[in-house]
Amino acid sequence: MRILLGTFLTILSITFTGAQVLEPAEWKVSMSNTTPKAGEIVTVTFAADIDEDWYLYSTDFDPDLGPIVAEFVFTPHESYELIGNVKPINPEKKYDEIWEGEVSIFHDKAQFNQQMKILDPDYVIHGTYEYQVCSDIDGKCIYFDDNTFGFKYKSSKKTTSNEQKKSNDGLLDQRASTDPYSLASFMLVAFLAGLAALLTPCVFPMIPMTVTFFTGKDNHKKGRYVNSLFYGFSIILIYSLIGLVLAPFMGPETANDLATGWIPNVIFFTVFIVFALSFFGLFEITLPHKWVNSVDAMGDKGGLVGVFFMALTLVLVSFSCTGPIVGSILVESAGGLALKPVLGMIAFSAAFAIPFTLFALFPNWLNSLPKSGGWLNSVKVVLGFIELALAFKFLSIADQAYHWGILDRDIYLAIWIIIFTFLGLYLLGKIKLSGDSDTNKVSVVRMILSMLTFTFVVYMIPGLFGAPLKAMAGYLPPMSTHDFALVETIRASGNSEPVVMDDRCEEPLYDDFLHWPHGLMGYFDYEQALACAKATNKPIFVDFTGHGCVNCREMEARVWAEEEVLNRLNNDFVLLALYVDDKTELAENKWYTSSYDDRMKKTIGKQNADFQITNFNNNAQPFYVILSPDGELLIEPTAYDLNVDNFVQFLEKGKAAFKRR
């Protein structure tokens, strides 16, 4: 009967919906060395290409928060031993207002590394992995489990190495991979930082000096052009060498330490505070004068050698202003692509070098430059405020990872509100620091910048009372650390009284650990729901959902909570929630082998997921179906849609179809 029902529903669902089984992530598993010696340490890399507009949850956040974290399980074997845990490489951190906490996700590409020590060259490595992907567009979430991987090597078999290579064809070690869009954004920020560095009091006055050097050094146009272009190239080369030296220490291996380690984050917090105080004028970060003078003397040599040392002199002399900016870029590059520090320095130095090169080529342009003055110091101070605000992001990471409780969400917001309030007052001239010019007037530019700053401050203030502040979600501690969430308190006080189960229906199974929202009463077992529907002569509303489905929770909070929806669910349907990711193991007599993938289904979640796929040719959540008491599909299913009217129409169509039977 079940097979016939499944076949019937599958045909109907294909006819009605045209749905398909989605696989938004394609995985490749590789080893850094497939022929290691005994005692050698190797890395197993799990790399996923994720479809556009989908994201994958990482491993490095609290699994009790809600979404399903990725999990990689290695079958123990005497030929190897694991070193530490699986490490995600450079995931995105964001605050999720549905789960009220910070989660880690991947877009476009995901990578996880597991180091292990090979004890026997004839190794056998097997395991499984599971993960959850969700859509940014339509809110679908899909849970995948029982994915297997394996490597083995027999040194006595000559063809094993080639067979291993063939079986792993295309499985590249992607430890240097990164999101191209985030990398482009990083380089754009670095380029803009280079432009900002030009407007500091250590750099801007150097432009006329540079032009004087080239116009006085060689009056021939051809010679000046060559020297000017080489001067710009030398600036880029010098900064790129700085990034190249630091690249081995800033690669993807750093990512996990930055995500959880308190030592690097406290160090970065301290460094940013020092940079900010330097920009405020409390002290200057300078290099020894002996170094600068020695390099400056080398610049008097002729030819391209002299030009190179002139560029090096510029880099050293301007260090007190550019040092904090360069240091900030290098800190932000940690944990990404292995060459990310180099690319950051190239982008920064290109913005820094291009104006010097152009003014050296076309000295007449100097007449269009504004004169030096107090405005240069104002640029430096504004950068100091930004550095100060960003410093607390690093302290927040360490505070959350180790539960110190010193920088909760409301405290963090209060600090940022104060910092940017002071910035707004500074832009209006109400606060003055050493190096600022005395003036009674405020320029139009400063006035507009102060308005934007105060707008940002006003936006942050409701966050003190629990507003989600979606635009800042990636920079704020999780809502769970907020001491006073007024929004949540008001929402909780409006809950209605729970609904009582109909006397003609039996008590739901699994209701001790599975629950319906908003006081709704329903089932978590298909057979029970069918029996209740027959007893009460009602259609069945089926909710394919998951513990880790963020958009399921959003539908419940923003659509189901509306009175016109809640009343219909309460009164017109027998409710059935089928959790596809629940890991509760069923009694052995309920196990069965799926006709879809020939695998044994032993848990509630796996059976529900299999039921959705085999009967509706769909594996995404949320997914809503309305069935008759006989299990017949009444109308076309629907999915994630935050339009309340559309959902009400879906329920009404289901009722009308049931009455027409």
Determine the length of the chain.
Answer: 661
Alpha-carbon distance of 546 to 525, in angstroms, equals: 14
pLDDT given for residue 298 in this prediction: 64
**Predicted confidence band at 53 (pLDDT cuts at 50, 70, 90)?**
confident
Provide the b/e sequence for 512-547 (b: ≥16 CB within 10 Å): eebebebebbbbbbbebbbbbbbeeebbbbbbbbbb
Among the ranges given (85-89, 171-175, 524-528, 552-556), the one the predictor scored with the smallest mean pLDDT: 171-175
User: Average of pLDDT values for 516-527?
Assistant: 89
Cis ω for the linkage preceding 622 (within 30 of 0): yes
Q: Tens of pLDDT along 213-239?
A: 665 555 556 667 788 888 888 888 888
> Are 285 and 271 spatial neighbours (Cβ–Cβ below 8 Å)?
no
Q: What's the token pair of residue 405?
A: 């409780």
pLDDT given for residue 173 in this prediction: 34
Comparing CA positions, the residue from 657, 644, 431, 635 lying closest to residue 538 is: 657
Pairing, β 638-639 against β 623-627: antiparallel
Sign of CA dihedral 557, 563, 568, 574: positive
Alpha carbons within 13 angstroms on the beta-carbon side of residue 223 total 12
Which helix (DSSP H) or strand (DSSP E) does residue 579 occupy? strand 574-579
Q: In which residue ranges of the chain is CATH 2.60.40 found? A: 26-167
Q: In which residue ranges of the chain is CATH 3.40.30.10 found? A: 517-659
> Are 54 and 110 spatial neighbours (Cβ–Cβ below 8 Å)?
no
Alpha-carbon distance of 656 to 661, in angstroms, equals: 9
Alpha-carbon distance of 133 to 58, in angstroms, equals: 10
CATH architecture designation of domain 517-659: 3-Layer(aba) Sandwich (3.40)
Comparing CA positions, the residue from 128, 113, 137, 119 lying closest to residue 52 is: 137
> What SS3 class is residue 201?
coil
DSSP labels for 216-233?
HH--SHHHHHHHHHHHHH
Alpha carbon 412 to chain centroid, angstroms:
20
Comparing CA positions, the residue from 514, 216, 196 lying closest to residue 380 is: 196
409 or 321: which carries more pLDDT confidence?
409
pLDDT given for residue 463 in this prediction: 87
Q: What residue type is 387 in one-letter code? A: E
Alpha-carbon distance of 65 to 102, in angstroms, equals: 9
DSSP at 288 = -
pLDDT given for residue 220 in this prediction: 58
Q: How many CB atoms lie within 10 A of CB 626?
A: 23
Q: Alpha carbon of 502 to those of 93, 131, 521: distances in Å?
A: 45, 38, 9
Indicate if the pLDDT at residue 71 is higher than 80: yes
Q: What's the token pair of residue 217?
A: 């050094």
User: Average of pLDDT values for 320-340?
Assistant: 67
Instruction: Give backbone dihedrals phi and psi of 23, rounded to 5 degrees, phi first.
Output: -135, 80
> Are 238 and 312 spatial neighbours (Cβ–Cβ below 8 Å)?
yes
530 or 661: which carries more pLDDT confidence?
530
Q: How many CB atoms lie within 10 A of CB 548?
A: 24
Cα angle: 248, vertex 252, 254; to 5 degrees: 80
pLDDT given for residue 142 in this prediction: 86
User: Average of pLDDT values for 74-93?
Assistant: 91
Q: What's the token pair of residue 50?
A: 């994720």
Which helix (DSSP H) or strand (DSSP E) does residue 55 occupy? strand 54-57
Alpha carbon 34 to chain centroid, angstroms:
31
Q: Tens of pLDDT along 584-608?
A: 888 898 899 888 878 889 889 889 9
**Predicted confidence band at 355 (pLDDT cuts at 50, 70, 90)?**
confident
207 or 568: which carries more pLDDT confidence?
568
**Predicted confidence band at 255 (pLDDT cuts at 50, 70, 90)?**
very low
Alpha-carbon distance of 229 to 360, in angstroms, equals: 9
Alpha carbon 189 to chain centroid, angstroms:
17
**Predicted confidence band at 178 (pLDDT cuts at 50, 70, 90)?**
very low
**Predicted confidence band at 276 (pLDDT cuts at 50, 70, 90)?**
confident
Q: How many CB atoms lie within 10 A of CB 591?
A: 14
* % of the chain with per-residue pLDDT over 90: 25
pLDDT given for residue 121 in this prediction: 87
Indicate if the pLDDT at residue 516 is higher than 70: yes
Residues 6+ apart with CB under 8 A from 239: 315, 326, 345, 346, 348, 349, 352
pLDDT given for residue 113 in this prediction: 94
| Start-end of H helices in 545-621 | 550-555, 563-572, 604-616
Q: What residue type is 612 in one-letter code? A: Q
Q: Tens of pLDDT along 116-175?
A: 999 988 899 989 999 999 888 777 788 887 788 988 876 544 334 343 433 333 333 333
Give the per-residue SS3 of 232-262: HHHHHHHHHHHHHHHHHHCCHHHHHHHHHCH
Provide the b/e sequence for 489-503 (b: ≥16 CB within 10 Å): eeeeeeeeeebeeee
Q: How many CB atoms lie within 10 A of CB 384?
A: 22
CATH class of 26-167: mainly beta
Cα angle: 34, vertex 170, 41; to 5 degrees: 25
Q: What's the token pair of residue 240?
A: 């790129």
Q: Alpha carbon of 499 to those of 502, 568, 571, 579, 603: distances in Å?
A: 9, 13, 10, 21, 29
Comparing CA positions, the residue from 243, 238, 240 lying closest to residue 338 is: 243
pLDDT given for residue 372 in this prediction: 58
Among the ranges given (180-194, 511-525, 564-578, 638-652), the one the predictor scored with the smallest mean pLDDT: 180-194
Alpha carbon 612 to chain centroid, angstroms:
30
Q: Alpha carbon of 80 to those of 42, 114, 125, 151, 172: distances in Å?
A: 10, 12, 8, 12, 22
**Predicted confidence band at 188 (pLDDT cuts at 50, 70, 90)?**
confident
pLDDT given for residue 626 in this prediction: 96
